[in-house]
Amino acid sequence: MVEIIEPALQSAIADFRAAGLNVMMSMREAGKPVSFVEDCAVPLPHLADYTARLNAIFAKHDTRGTMYAHASEGCLHVRPVLNLKLEKDVKAMRAIAEEAFAMVREYKGSHSGEHGDGIVRSEFHETMFGSRIVADFGEVKRRFDPDNVLNPGKIVDPPEMDDRSLFRYPPDYRVSRVEDRARLVGLPRRRRRLPGRRRDVQQQWRLPKARRRRDVSVVPRDPR
Asked if residues 65 and 79 have their Cβ atoms less than 8 Å apart, the reply is yes
Q: Compute CA distances 168 → 21, 48, 99, whole Å.
A: 20, 34, 25
Residue 66 phi/psi, 5-degree rounding, is: -100, 145
pLDDT score recorded for residue 215: 43
CA-to-CA distance for 122 and 152, rounded, in angstroms? Answer: 11
For 164-216, the pLDDT digits (tens) are 888 877 777 765 544 454 444 444 444 444 444 444 444 434 444 444 444 44
Domains of the chain: 30-166 (3.30.70.2740), 184-219 (no CATH)
Residue 43 phi/psi, 5-degree rounding, is: -55, 140
> 210 pairs with which residues across the strands?
none
Q: What confidence category does residue 28 fall into, taking pLDDT thresholds of 50, 70 and 90?
A: confident
Residue 81 phi/psi, 5-degree rounding, is: -90, 115
For 57-110, the pLDDT digits (tens) are 999 999 999 888 788 889 988 999 999 989 999 999 999 999 999 999 999 999
pLDDT score recorded for residue 63: 95
Return the higher-pLDDT residue of 137 and 177.
137
Q: Compute CA distances 194 → 26, 59, 148, 197, 199, whole Å.
A: 19, 39, 42, 5, 7
pLDDT score recorded for residue 222: 52
Phi-psi region of 68 (alpha: psi -120 to 50; beta: other; left: phi over 0): beta
